[in-house]
Amino acid sequence: MLTVSNNILEMSDIVKEFSGIRVLDHVDFELRTGEVHALIGANGAGKSTLMKILNGIYSMTEGSVLYDGKPVDIKTPRDAYRCGITMIHQELDLVGCRDVAENIYLGRELYKDRAKMILDRKSMYERAQELLDELGFEICATDKVEKLPPAQQQLILIARTVSCNSRVIVMDEPTSSLSSHETQQLFRVIRSLKEKNISIIYISHYLEEIFQVSDRVTVLRDGKNVTTAVTAECTKQQLVQWMIGRETEVQKNIGQSKSEKPMVLECDGLTTRRDFVKDVSFCVRRGEIVGFAGVVGAGRSEIAKMVFGAEKMAAGNIAFEGKPVKIGSPTKAVRKGISMVPEDRKVEGLVLKLSISVNMWLSYLGKCRSGVLKYKDLGKKVQDMIGYLSVKCANRGQPISDLSGGNQQKVAIGKCLLNEPKLLILDQPTRGVDVGAKSEIYMLVTELAAKQGTAILYISDELEELIALCDRIYVIKQGKCVKELDNHTQGLTKATLLQYMVD
Amino acid sequence: MKTTNKAKKLLKSNNLTMLIVLLAMVLVSEIINPVFLSMSNVMNLLAQNSIIGVMALGMIFALVTGSFDMSVSSTGALTAVLSTYLFIRSGLAAGILVGLSVGLAVGLINGLLVTKIGINPFVTTLGTQTSVRGIVYIITNAKPVTGIPKAFNVIGMGKIGGVFPVPALIWIVLALLMAFVLRKTRFGQYVFATGGNKRAAWLSGVNTDFIKIMALIISGVFASIGGLIYTLRILMCTADGMTGYELKVMSACIVGGTSLDGGKGTILGCIIGTMIMGIILNILQLAGVSSFWQDAITGVILIVAVGFDSFTSKQRS
């Protein structure tokens, strides 16, 4: 058994609240010297939040961090870096137009003189190359970063963290942009870092990787510790069970099977450029709610956006209401009767500077025959929609930014409904929405499908939601559609869904 | 009930602040120089500012869509030159038609470069400004062109009933038209949505590229209208005519509460902004300050207005 003194890092009783909502609830996390410790949990379990606290991006509400046995106060990423903790983000934060050595020494360049005026390029390149060779990376220190593939860019970040004597490296989904061959290369590097007594916190959604690379694994669920175990002693089923928790009975509200209904959307072999999404085929029928399950970054939104014409399609065919169509832009999609509520309300869904009215009728205006606005008619339509969705607001001229998240989301949905779409795409419609508004949205979605016969494509992180609402669920993993599940004939549980998502 | 609502809305809006600033300035000007509120000076003020005012009505569309138009001065100058030749040879209608098509062409080029190629609007329009000015010099050989029939002077200098200047009437009519377009039409709503959040507007089915192109075309066409009034005012054109107008026009918009971030601006604000700028320069003129100082002060006003906008939005976030 290892003793306590072997812990390089101890985070204890970490509590984090965002405007009163507790996202981390007394979480403990220990990291031993020279171990690879996997951190797993379903979407929104709190992994990233915990790591952002460790890295000084967020401040914690309560709790303490011991580093090397001494309490530390990490307030900024710079503090973390001084301690010897570095985080490698999913987005590779490198300066693309500069070369490898310059990136490795970014912010701590070597100088020839004491006043730090004249760069010592020669020794920067020499030492960078030495380091790269020592780590076994086949990268030349004088290469331009932007010309290297993502895997090598990742290695440069690792070299950078090693060169600044980091003793703890946090890797957040490091394989998301890597091929399987490159992933294996990364694992070799991780093992050699271990031999140098560097500790690694490894965040991933994919269990396969966890078993390949980690010594121990900590599972978080709903912001709480579930367990910490030696990876080799666990099974995949066990990990999935821990991530899900006790299986609660989900109240299904899905009515009859729609397999007899006419097709609204048929997609065949959808592929994005650079194969981020590859060869995805699916269909949605009239009055059917079809779910997309998958971990963050699996490509669910990209598929939906291809259907909506908001993402370039490299290959594939789309048929809408039985006829093959080319949907080149959202404008055309809306004209055909497709509407989308995008994932990020504030960035993609709403024009925050404008009023409720304008946001609500924005999409509908394209359908009006006259280019001159009939404020009376429009106002009535908006008012009716506000009533139908029970949007809580003082009046419809109010700026949309005044509303709560749930009410903003209702407006975003209302904007689509004014068009009376034949296909409605909902991307995470209940994210950041309070419980009351959530159940209202569920009811609305069910009613739309049942009464109006709207075909609905429903993307969600919440597995319960998918099981409760969807007739069929497609599981998307690493840009591919790996499974189609029928909610009418198969007894779906969260565990079965998650299993397909992560395994 | 309705009127109280409207009054409340006006009270809250920036326009009221601007209106108060404007009235305060009028008052101060009157105290400093009693000539200020004389009929002839007021009419003079309207006539003098109508060119900037008209051009600002177009510029505001570029700004509200989150774009920019630095090319208006050169567009106006090229319009003046080409239409001068046509006024002399082919008459009023031909001159006006060709003049307006200059603005249409420059605006279209700007719009295509900004949206389809994706060049930053500031750089794009700065480039077209320089190139178009170059064309003006090439055509005129840097020599002034004169000889427009005196009768056409009515448009630039005429006075209705001997009192009210024709350019000011053009300004007011166009202002009403553009207020209608901005507030009461689908296009106007799309202009605000595109500038407020281009991505969200696009995902709502708005053809945002088309809206941006149209906004720059409107800016170009109104620059041409400004150029036409300019040349019919002095019945000639010069190669360096209207130099520096782009900053004056932009200042008028920004002083009038148009945001450089896009998504915010009103025609009324635009008019008030034009008048505030005009009065400042008028006071300086009446006080006999040199025109060099007037340029220097224009720059300061622009920075103060943009600074005010940036600072308040920074405070909010």
Coil, strand, or helix at residue A423? strand
pLDDT score of B14 = 65
Q: Cα separations (Å) of B244 from A166, A241, B235, B254, B259? A: 56, 70, 20, 16, 21
Using an 8 Å CB-CB cutoff, list chain A residues near B196: 351-354
Query: Are residues B214 and B220 in contact, defined by beta-carbon separation less than 8 angstroms?
Result: no
Interface test mutation site (partner A, options B203, B214, B316, max chain A beta carbons within 10 A): B203
List of residues 6+ apart from A373 with CB closer than 8 A: A365, B184, B185, B186, B188, B189
Give the bridge partners for A168, in sequence order: A85, A199
Q: Least CB-CB distance to A350: which of B192, B200, B205?
A: B200
Q: Cα separations (Å) of B270 from A162, A408, B264? A: 57, 31, 11
List of residues 6+ apart from B64 with CB closer than 8 A: B182, B191, B192, B195, B215, B258, B262, B263, B264, B265
Interface test mutation site (partner B, options A354, A401, A420, max chain B beta carbons within 10 A): A354
Question: What is the residue whose two structure tokens read 């039985």?
Answer: A322
For B54, counting Cβ atoms within 10 Å of its Cβ (0-12 exposed, 13-18 middle, 19+ buried), the class is buried
pLDDT score of A51 = 92
Residues A30 and A146 grouped into a single domain? no
Residue A70: half-sphere exposure toward Cβ, Cα within 13 Å = 5
Residues A155 and A172 grouped into a single domain? no
Q: Decide which of A174 and B253 is more confident.
A: B253
Coil, strand, or helix at residue A117? coil
The C-alpha of B310 sits at a distance from chain A's nearest C-alpha, in angstroms, of 15
- Angle in degrees, CA B10, B219, B92, rounded to 5: 115
Does residue B101 lie in a domain region? Answer: yes
**Which amino acid type is present at position A159?**
A
At residue B44, does pLDDT exceed 70? yes
At residue B132, does pLDDT exceed 60? yes
Give the bridge partners for A267, in sequence order: A282, A318
At residue A280, does pLDDT exceed 90? yes
Task: Report yes or no: B213 at the A interface, CB cutoff 8 Å.
Answer: no
Using an 8 Å CB-CB cutoff, list chain A residues near B200: 342, 347-351
Does residue A316 lie in a domain region? Answer: yes
pLDDT (tens digit per residue) in A414-457: 999 999 999 999 999 998 788 888 889 999 999 999 999 999 99
Interface test mutation site (partner B, options A344, A351, A401, A420, max chain B beta carbons within 10 A): A351
Provide the whole-model pTM: 0.82
Does residue B305 lie in a domain region? Answer: no
At residue B56, does pLDDT exceed 90? yes
Q: Least CB-CB distance to B186: which of A310, A352, A373?
A: A373
Coil, strand, or helix at residue A497? helix
Using an 8 Å CB-CB cutoff, list chain B residues near A373: 184-186, 188-189
Residues A153 and A175 grouped into a single domain? no
Coil, strand, or helix at residue A351? coil
pLDDT score of A5 = 53
The C-alpha of B299 sits at a distance from chain A's nearest C-alpha, in angstroms, of 28
Q: Name the CA dihedral angle for A208, A236, A46, A295, rounded to a multiple of 10 degrees.
A: 60
Does residue A178 lie in a domain region? Answer: yes
Both structure tokens of A142: 């004088």
Q: How many residues does chain A have?
A: 503
The C-alpha of A213 sits at a distance from chain B's nearest C-alpha, in angstroms, of 40
Q: Least CB-CB distance to A310: which of B188, B192, B203?
A: B203
Does residue A255 lie in a domain region? Answer: no
Q: Using CA atoms, how far apart are residues A466 and B155, in angstroms rounded to an integer?
A: 68
At residue B30, does pLDDT exceed 90? no
At residue B1, does pLDDT exceed 50? no
Residues A297 and A384 grouped into a single domain? yes
pLDDT score of B316 = 65
Tell me how many domains chain B contains.
Answer: 1
Tell me how many domains chain A contains.
Answer: 3
Q: Using CA atoms, how far apart are residues B227 and B241, in angstroms rounded to an integer?
A: 9
The C-alpha of A468 sits at a distance from chain B's nearest C-alpha, in angstroms, of 28
Both structure tokens of A479: 């840009």
Closest of A444, A442, A448, A421 to residue A430, by C-alpha = A442
Q: Using CA atoms, how far apart are residues A228 and A98, in angstroms rounded to an integer?
A: 41
Contact (CB<8Å) A353/B197: yes
Does residue B132 lie in a domain region? Answer: yes
Comparing alpha-carbon positions, the chain A residue that sits nearest to B199 is A348
Q: Least CB-CB distance to B201: which of A362, A368, A373?
A: A362
Strand ranges (E), A222-279: 224-230, 263-272
Query: Are residues A50 and A214 in contact, defined by beta-carbon separation less than 8 angstroms?
Result: no
Q: Using CA atoms, how far apart are residues A458 and B314, in angstroms rounded to an integer?
A: 37
Task: Report yes or no: B189 at the A interface, CB cutoff 8 Å.
Answer: yes
Using an 8 Å CB-CB cutoff, list chain B residues near A354: 192-193, 196, 263
Residues A121 and A12 grouped into a single domain? no
Residues 399-438 of chain A whose Cβ lies under 8 A from any Cβ of chain B: 415
Interface test mutation site (partner A, options B65, B197, B204, max chain A beta carbons within 10 A): B204
Does residue A1 lie in a domain region? Answer: no
The C-alpha of B233 sits at a distance from chain A's nearest C-alpha, in angstroms, of 35
The separation between CA B159 and the C-alpha centre of its own chain, rounded to angstroms, equals 22
Contact (CB<8Å) A365/B186: yes
Q: What is the CATH number of the domain that holds A203?
A: 3.40.50.300
pLDDT (tens digit per residue) in B243-298: 989 999 999 999 988 988 899 999 999 999 999 989 888 888 878 888 888 888 88
Domain residues for the domain of B178 are 48-242
Contact (CB<8Å) B193/A350: no
Coil, strand, or helix at residue A302? helix
pLDDT (tens digit per residue) in A29-76: 999 999 999 999 887 788 888 999 999 989 999 999 999 889 999 998
Residues A148 and A209 grouped into a single domain? no
Q: Using CA atoms, how far apart are residues B262 and A6, in angstroms rounded to an integer?
A: 56
For A61, counting Cβ atoms within 10 Å of its Cβ (0-12 exposed, 13-18 middle, 19+ buried), the class is middle
DSSP conformation letters of chain B: -HHHHHHHHHHHSHHHHHHHHHHHHHHHHHHH-TTTTSHHHHHHHHHHHHHHHHHHHHHHHHHHTT-----HHHHHHHHHHHHHHHHHHT-HHHHHHHHHHHHHHHHHHHHHIIIII---HHHHHHHHHHHHHHHHHHHHTT--EE---GGGHHHHH-EETTTEEHHHHHHHHHHHHHHHHHHHBHHHHHHHHHHH-HHHHHHTT--HHHHHHHHHHHHHHHHHHHHHHHHHHHTEE-TTTTTTHHHHHHHHHHHTT--TTSS---HHHHHHHHHHHHHHHHHHHHTT--HHHHHHHHHHHHHHHHHHHHHHHHHH-
Segment (H or E) for A220: strand A216-221
Query: Are residues A92 and A186 in contact, defined by beta-carbon separation less than 8 angstroms?
Result: no
Query: Are residues A14 and A50 in contact, defined by beta-carbon separation less than 8 angstroms?
Result: yes
**What percent of chain A has a predicted confidence (pLDDT) above 70?**
98
The C-alpha of B127 sits at a distance from chain A's nearest C-alpha, in angstroms, of 26
Closest of A60, A66, A55, A48 to residue A9, by C-alpha = A66
Task: Report yes or no: B313 at the A interface, CB cutoff 8 Å.
Answer: no
Does residue A203 lie in a domain region? Answer: yes
Residues A160 and A176 grouped into a single domain? no
Domain residues for the domain of A142 are 94-164
Q: Cα separations (Å) of B291 from A23, A135, B33? A: 63, 68, 19
The separation between CA A68 and the C-alpha centre of its own chain, rounded to angstroms, equals 32
Residues A433 and A315 grouped into a single domain? yes
Does residue A437 lie in a domain region? Answer: yes
* β-pairing verdict for A36-40 and A85-88: unpaired
Residues A131 and A229 grouped into a single domain? no
pLDDT score of A386 = 95
Task: Report yes or no: A373 at the B interface, CB cutoff 8 Å.
Answer: yes
Q: Least CB-CB distance to B187: which of A362, A371, A415?
A: A371
Comparing alpha-carbon positions, the chain A residue that sits nearest to B9 is A397
Residues A318 and A190 grouped into a single domain? no
Does residue A256 lie in a domain region? Answer: no
Count of A-B CB contacts under 8 Å: 82
Residues A287 and A276 grouped into a single domain? yes
Using an 8 Å CB-CB cutoff, list chain B residues near A362: 189-190, 193, 201, 204, 206
Q: Decide which of B269 and B11 is more confident.
A: B269
Closest of A433, A45, A30, A404 to residue A205, by C-alpha = A45
The C-alpha of B201 sits at a distance from chain A's nearest C-alpha, in angstroms, of 7
Does residue B195 lie in a domain region? Answer: yes
Contact (CB<8Å) A372/B190: no
Does residue A257 lie in a domain region? Answer: no
Does residue B98 lie in a domain region? Answer: yes
Contact (CB<8Å) A362/B193: yes
Q: Using CA atoms, how far apart are residues B277 and B275, in angstroms rounded to an integer?
A: 5
Comparing alpha-carbon positions, the chain A residue that sits nearest to B263 is A353
Closest of A195, A192, A179 to residue A136, by C-alpha = A192
